[in-house]
Amino acid sequence: MAQTRTAIRYAKAVLDLAKDQNSAEIVNADMKSIANAVEASTELKDMLLSAVIPVATKKSALLAIFKDLNKLSSGLINTLIENKRIDILCEVAQKFTELYNESQGKQVAKVTSAVALTDALKAKVLAKVKELTGKEADIVNIVDESILGGFILRVGDIQYDASIANKLNKLKREFILN
């Protein structure tokens, strides 16, 4: 919890600087690439969390991996290293993207489905998101075969569960209660 609050503080500070310098969109692209790279690579994640690897090695590795970063993004890496907080780099990047999307009136809709969404299904889900929230959204599709069919839509604090597994559980509870 403390790390989440810390990550939000760093993300807000970088977002404010980026807005002042009219480079918020570029920094957001950097943050997305950082978050995606760390999430995709267990080695990178382990390196960031390791207490054994020297800070100088972490810094040179990060700057080599992310060599095309904006000045603010590389400054964030330097600041996190100086403050001994480089382990929360991925979380800061994710929070930055969330805050940036909020400031642009965008949101992320997480859709859990039994199979990958087709373009037609994505259009229907986007329509449902618009109906529920009144805002546009980007879709992140999570495939989970345990829901059997249908989908679970999560946008911010709103969850819409139209999964077969949920309907079967409701039926089961009705039979048990009666």
Q: Which domains does the chain have, with CATH numbers?
A: 2-103 (1.10.520.20), 107-177 (no CATH)
Selected residue with higher pLDDT from 114 and 17: 17
The verdict on pTM exceeding 0.85 is no
Percentage of the residues of the chain whose pLDDT score is greater than 70: 98
Tell me the average pLDDT of the chain: 88
pLDDT exceeds cutoff 90 at 108: no
Residue in 145, 141, 107 with CA at minimum distance from that of residue 122 = 141
pLDDT exceeds cutoff 70 at 163: yes
**Residue 140 binned pLDDT confidence (cut-offs 50, 70, 90):** confident
**Residue 2 binned pLDDT confidence (cut-offs 50, 70, 90):** low
Pairing of strands 137-143, 107-113: parallel
16: tokens are 């404010």
Buried b (16+ CB within 10 A) or exposed e, 102-133: eeeeebebebbbbeebeeebeeebbebbeebe
Structural contact between residues 30 and 69, judged by C-beta atoms closer than 8 angstroms: yes
